[in-house]
Amino acid sequence: MHFVDRTFTTARIGVIIMALAGSELICIGQNIRARRKLRQLTQDELSKSIGVSSNYVSMIENGKEQPSLPLFFKICHVLETTPNDLASFDLVDKT
């Protein structure tokens, strides 16, 4: 049996975030949206907590923008989750 370590180091998360494109970027955006909704936050509330516009949060969640690494870590902190969870390509509930 082969064990796959699904945890990522900070450096690996950085590489993943900076290399995102297309469906991967959409997937992370969907993970962010799902976690935000789970925490019962609006886009406006999240945006104020991380210091960006709600429009920018919407663009991240829709896969049209890619957050910088520091912004990604702020999002993780506010959403009380780990970079591993948000960078997972196993989608959280898409609601």
- For the residues 39-64, what does the mean pLDDT come to? 97
- For the residues 45-62, what does the mean pLDDT come to? 97
pLDDT confidence of residue 87: 81
Percent with pLDDT over 90 in the chain: 47
pLDDT confidence of residue 69: 85
Residue type, 45: E
Q: Which two tokens stand for residue 22?
A: 């297309």
- For residues 26 and 29, what is the distance between their CA atoms, to the nearest angstrom? 5
- For the residues 19-36, what does the mean pLDDT come to? 83
- For the residues 24-34, what does the mean pLDDT come to? 89
**Mean pLDDT over each residue of the chain, to the nearest integer:** 80
- For the residues 6-20, what does the mean pLDDT come to? 56
